[in-house]
């Protein structure tokens, strides 16, 4: 990876500059709103809308005239979904991959002191990933004409394997699912290339634990804030969306328009997305309105390592995670560099977790009510908003303190949509409320193995 001494500092301005560098390679994904999801999230019991006979979406739910329940105990939300499921390769990871490779490809005497594109093409790149980073690096490498070797655990879903193999100049190499097994295969690839070329081997581009990756992922939050301001300036806000539909903003370019999120939520796996998002929104700490940033995790088999690490006294990064949560993109521990951001309570307000059933319920509501196809990992922050009582109480208390009765403007980074019809069919084959003991998303490897440890998404 690029020498850290050649990287931009981990600051909001660096994220803005990174976006300028990679914007021609990535999609500016839409920021959408759903009046229906606002209503469900702002109801006393969002679970009621998953019943066989749910309440009418505009039925009286006990709110008083200004939208507040007695005592203001029910949180109220205007939700804004940043749809990275519409990003290239179907996930936000394309941002970090292009950030990393465009830095490496920069001339040695440029501001970003890379190795130059010809040297990069000669050496190539290598990584290990269960799917989304694998596809993202394959795309970035193919776009820049750089050979790439992608080490994928056999537990990776078949669609993500085929999505990685489909890029020119990319070689997929399989490994076991534990961290030592994957790292051993990466080292084997590097050594084999050294022997073949007599030169240095391919450069390792990690899935999340590098400044360039965080800066790239943070551009999703940067775009979302620009788009919110554009929506506020134009008057195109959440009240315009009909049942089951959504409005979208393609965004403006900066400007002095009003509009900041009260809070932003992202999934938390290795921490690149949360760390980058929190870095961007740290610029609001100097203003009169601070945007609170939260991480969201599954809690199945200890997948909530970020939440558990922050709860330790003193807080401590948990180094290993072994889980087969349906949120397969979040099966990895928080990285060292992301942890330095996430453990800073001036940047990340907190981390909350949800159960497998809650993830499935949120996924069902997003597909049926908002009409977007997302992967289970993307449903985790939605599940926190709908079902995590600690989070909902926190929002209700802050609204009570503010005393205006207005809903909170909450941004949700929808991290990706890399799933399959077959996977979703299996996931819901017995109904949303009957959790199958088998992991339905990447439950077994192509060799039949069921071991997964520290799997990088």
What does the pLDDT profile of the chain (457 residues) look like in tens digits? 888 889 999 999 999 999 999 999 999 999 999 999 999 999 999 999 999 999 988 765 544 444 444 445 899 999 999 999 999 999 999 999 999 999 999 999 998 999 999 999 999 999 998 789 999 999 999 999 999 999 998 878 788 888 899 899 999 999 987 778 888 999 999 999 999 888 889 999 999 999 999 999 999 999 999 999 999 988 766 443 333 345 555 443 333 335 899 999 999 999 999 999 999 999 987 766 899 999 999 999 999 999 999 999 999 999 999 888 999 889 999 999 999 999 999 999 999 999 999 999 999 999 999 999 999 999 999 999 999 999 999 999 999 998 888 999 999 999 999 888 888 888 888 654 544 434 444 444 445 555 566 566 6
Alpha helices, H only, 369-409: 376-387, 389-402
Collapsed DSSP state (helix, strand, coil) of residue 413 = strand
Cα–Cα distance measured from residue 259 to residue 246, given in angstroms and rounded to the nearest whole number: 19
Q: Which of helix, strand or coil describes residue 332?
A: coil
List all residues 6 or more positions away from 437 whose beta carbon is below 8 Å from its beta carbon.
none
Q: Is residue 253 part of a domain?
A: yes
Domain CATH number, residue 80: 3.40.50.1100
Q: What's the count of helices (H) and strands (E) in the chain, helices before strands?
A: 15, 11
Q: Give the total number of structural domains in the chain.
A: 1
**pLDDT value at residue 243:** 35
Residue 400 makes CB contacts below 8 A (sequence gap 6+) with 71, 72
Q: How many residues does the chain have?
A: 457
Nearest to 416 by CA among 78, 103, 160, 40: 160
Q: Is residue 249 part of a domain?
A: yes
In a domain, 278, yes or no: yes
Task: List the one residue out of 341, 321, 309, 359 whose CA is nearest residue 452.
Answer: 321
Tell me the whole-structure pTM to 2 decimals. Answer: 0.90
**Is residue 199 domain-resident?**
no
Query: Which residues form the domain of 275?
Result: 31-89+211-456
Asked if the structure places residue 170 within a domain, the reply is no
Angle between helices 211-234 and 12-22 (to 10 degrees): 90
Question: Looking at residue 288, what is its pLDDT?
Answer: 67
Amino acid 258: pLDDT: 59
What is the DSSP code string of 16-84? HHHHHHHTTTS----EEE-HHHHHHHTSS-GGGGGSSSPPPTTS--S--TTS--GGG-S--EEEEEEEG
Asked whether 130 and 156 are in contact (CB, 8 A), the reply is: yes
φ, ψ of residue 317 in degrees (nearest 5)? -65, 130
109 lies in some domain: no
Q: Is residue 375 part of a domain?
A: yes
104 inside domain: no
pLDDT of 311: 97
């Amino acid at each position: 990876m690029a020498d850290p001494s050649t990287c931009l500092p981990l600051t909001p301005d660096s994220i803005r500059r990174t976006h300028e560098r990679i914007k021609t390679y990535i999609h500016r994904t839409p920021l959408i709103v759903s009046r229906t999801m606002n209503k469900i999230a702002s109801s006393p019991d969002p679970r009621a809308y998953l019943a066989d006979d749910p309440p009418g979406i505009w039925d009286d739910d006990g709110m008083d005239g200004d939208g507040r329940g007695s005592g203001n105990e029910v949180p109220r939300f205007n939700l804004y979904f940043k749809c990275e499921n519409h990003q290239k390769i179907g996930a936000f990871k394309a941002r970090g991959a292009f950030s990393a490779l465009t830095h490496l490809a920069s001339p040695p005497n440029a501001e970003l002191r890379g190795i130059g594109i010809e040297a990069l093409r000669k050496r190539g790149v290598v990584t290990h990933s269960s799917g989304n980073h694998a596809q993202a690096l394959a795309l970035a490498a193919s776009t820049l004409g750089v050979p790439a070797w992608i080490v994928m655990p056999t537990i990776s879903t078949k669609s993500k394997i085929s999505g990685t193999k489909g890029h020119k100049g990319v070689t997929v190499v399989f490994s076991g699912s534990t961290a030592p097994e994957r790292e051993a295969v990466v080292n084997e690839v590097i050594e084999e290339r050294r022997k073949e070329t007599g030169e240095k081997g391919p450069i390792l581009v990690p899935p999340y634990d590098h400044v360039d990756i965080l800066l790239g992922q943070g551009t999703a939050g940067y775009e979302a804030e620009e788009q919110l301001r554009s929506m506020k300036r134009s008057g195109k806000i959440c009240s315009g969306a009909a049942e089951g539909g959504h409005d979208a903003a393609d965004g403006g370019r900066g400007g002095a328009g009003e509009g900041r999120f009260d809070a932003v939520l992202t999934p938390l796996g290795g921490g690149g997305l949360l760390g980058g998002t929190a870095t961007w929104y740290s610029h609001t700490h100097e203003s009169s309105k601070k945007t609170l940033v939260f991480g969201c995790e599954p809690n199945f088999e200890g997948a909530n390592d970020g939440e558990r690490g922050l709860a330790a006294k003193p807080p401590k990064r948990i180094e290993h995670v072994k889980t087969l949560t349906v949120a397969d993109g979040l099966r990895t521990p928080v990285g060292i560099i992301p942890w330095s951001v996430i453990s800073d309570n001036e940047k990340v307000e907190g981390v909350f977790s949800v159960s497998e059933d809650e993830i499935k319920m949120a996924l069902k509501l997003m597909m049926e009510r908002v009409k977007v196809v997302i992967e289970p990992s993307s449903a985790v922050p939605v599940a926190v908003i709908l079902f995590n009582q600690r989070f909902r109480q926190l929002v209700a208390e802050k609204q009570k303190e503010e005393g205006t009765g207005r809903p909170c403007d909450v941004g949700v980074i929808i991290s990706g949509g890399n799933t399959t019809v077959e996977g979703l069919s299996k996931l819901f084959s017995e109904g949303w409320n009957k959790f199958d003991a088998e992991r339905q998303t990447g439950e077994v490897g192509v060799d039949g193995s069921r071991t997964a440890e520290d799997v990088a998404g």
